[in-house]
Amino acid sequence: MSDTAGEIDDPMAVHTSSIQAPHSQRLRTRRKAKPPTEQLLGDENNNSDFSSRLSNKNRRLKRKNLILNTRNPVIIWLAKNELQISLFLLSIVHIFYWAGYQWPLQWIRIQHKSTLPNNGTVDHDSDRYVRGIHDIKFVCYWIVQIIAARSLFLHHILPVFARYLKITSLRKNRRFCEMVWMLIYVVPMWTIGFRIWQNSPYYMNMNNFYINYPDEHILMPYGLKWFYLVQSAFWFSSIYTIHIEERRKDHVEMLTHHVVTICLVLGSYQFYFTRFGHAFMLIMDLPDIFLTAAKMFRYLDNKIMPDILFGMFTISWVATKHYLCIKMMISIWTLGINAMPEEKRYPNYPNSYASYTVILTLWGFLCILQLILIYWFVLILKVLNRVLIKGEGADDNRSDEEGEGEGEESADDPALSDTKTSELSSVDSSSGSLSTLDTRSPSAE
């Protein structure tokens, strides 16, 4: 009998094979089972479909990050419709004005002319104004105007101009438009403010910031009040702007900067220190003109002008935002109280806010602002180290919080056609490079 027949007839062999068979079958079944990854993805076709869906999802997220720093539906809706909303609100005011109603004038024009001392009626021949409740309406009107103008330029006008200059990169296109828009606002406003300062009694005379306080400070010339309220509107609109644009690495610092600036502007306006605030706004805004122009030329791939303008920006930054700023801080602490007689200090005199409590409040905001400026100045020094010591250019090495990857997409990419003229502006400030130092740091500030 053969060995095979013997194994079959052997009862022990049959029993052993009956025990091992299920175990061996389980091993074979286990070896044939698909790995967990294949079980999730399926066959090759399913794997391809899954990868395609994942790629499309990532691309949609990437396109979204190019525009906004949030997925909040309210902010997204505002960003897409801000021009239409702004024009609608402005049209309501002007339609009622053209229809003969008087209430729109409280939004469109400066209110609260000075009154005659004998009977308290409005002096229509005077060019002096006092602050009042209708100033809030004028500021709100200008907030809407600034948002509408910014949206119009960034969405419709400047992108065409940038493409005409052969700026095809989407990131460069939007950054260039942002810089041009800042120049469109900053240069005319600074020029207007400087002309008002030239014709004022406190031009190049710091002692006259506080002389005859508060009597001569309550009455403001038309130009000074207009400048103050429009600048207030700009800084309020900046709070809105930084929440509908790409999130910067220094978002918290910039938001703090804007809030402190608004507190200083409104505080100096409320306490009748408008002369101090006016001069402070001018010296703080001057360096931003050089910085914005430098960044604009850099996006045009100019090799010389950015470094020259950045050097001018650095010099003006030290001279204004640190030297003159600290000098004015010392003046309001010393002259702001001591130059006023005791009988005209708070609470001994009507409409006087000359007290150490008020001065200390303004000083606190000024110190916070100066700390932010020092932080940004450290970043400026890092750029100078690269330019002067290492021999590199003042390039923009700053990345947005979502990353740099999206920045080099072409502006002509059909997949991104819906984002070409999107709301992508920024009042950005600092991460250690030329682009990061857009402080638009302000004002009285």
DSSP 163-232: HHTT--BHHHHHHHHHHHHHHHHHHHHHHHHHHHHHTSTTTT-GGGGTTTTTHHHHSEEHHHHHHHHHHH
Q: Over 60: is that where the pLDDT of 174 sits?
A: yes
pLDDT for position 168: 82
pLDDT for position 393: 55
Q: What SS3 class is residue 396?
A: coil
- Measured distance CA(178)–CA(298) in Å, rounded: 13
Beta bridge partners of 122: 115
329/338: higher pLDDT: 329
**Other beta carbons within 10 Å of 145:** 16
* 8 Å CB contact between 370 and 241: no
* 8 Å CB contact between 373 and 322: yes
Q: What SS3 class is residue 385?
A: helix
Q: Over 50: is that where the pLDDT of 211 sits?
A: yes
In this prediction, residue 343 has a pLDDT band, given cuts at 50, 70 and 90, of: confident
In this prediction, residue 363 has a pLDDT band, given cuts at 50, 70 and 90, of: very high
Q: Over 60: is that where the pLDDT of 107 sits?
A: yes
pLDDT digits (tens, 9 = 90+) for 12-23: 444 444 445 555
**Average pLDDT over every residue of 65-73:** 58
Which one, of 155, 156, 219, 150, lies nearest residue 185 by Cα?
150
In this prediction, residue 124 has a pLDDT band, given cuts at 50, 70 and 90, of: low
- Measured distance CA(326)–CA(149) in Å, rounded: 34
Tokens matching residue 11: 């009862």
In this prediction, residue 406 has a pLDDT band, given cuts at 50, 70 and 90, of: very low
Helix (H) or strand (E) holding 297, with range, is: helix 274-299
Distances (CA, A) of 287 to 56, 59, 392: 44, 39, 22
Q: Over 90: is that where the pLDDT of 225 sits?
A: yes
Tokens matching residue 145: 């105007």
In this prediction, residue 56 has a pLDDT band, given cuts at 50, 70 and 90, of: low
Q: What is the percent of the chain where pLDDT is above 90?
A: 44
- Measured distance CA(86)–CA(106) in Å, rounded: 18
DSSP assignment of 260-295:
HHHHHHHHHHHTT-HHHHHHHHHHHHHHHHHHHHHH
Beta bridge partners of 113: 129
Label residue 9 exposed, middle or buried (CB < 10 Å: 0-12, 13-18, 19+).
exposed
Sequence-separated (6 or more) residues with CB below 8 Å from residue 443: 231, 235, 261, 264, 265, 277, 280, 281, 284, 285
**Average pLDDT over every residue of 156-167:** 90
- Measured distance CA(377)–CA(218) in Å, rounded: 36
Q: Over 50: is that where the pLDDT of 195 sits?
A: yes
- Measured distance CA(345)–CA(57) in Å, rounded: 65
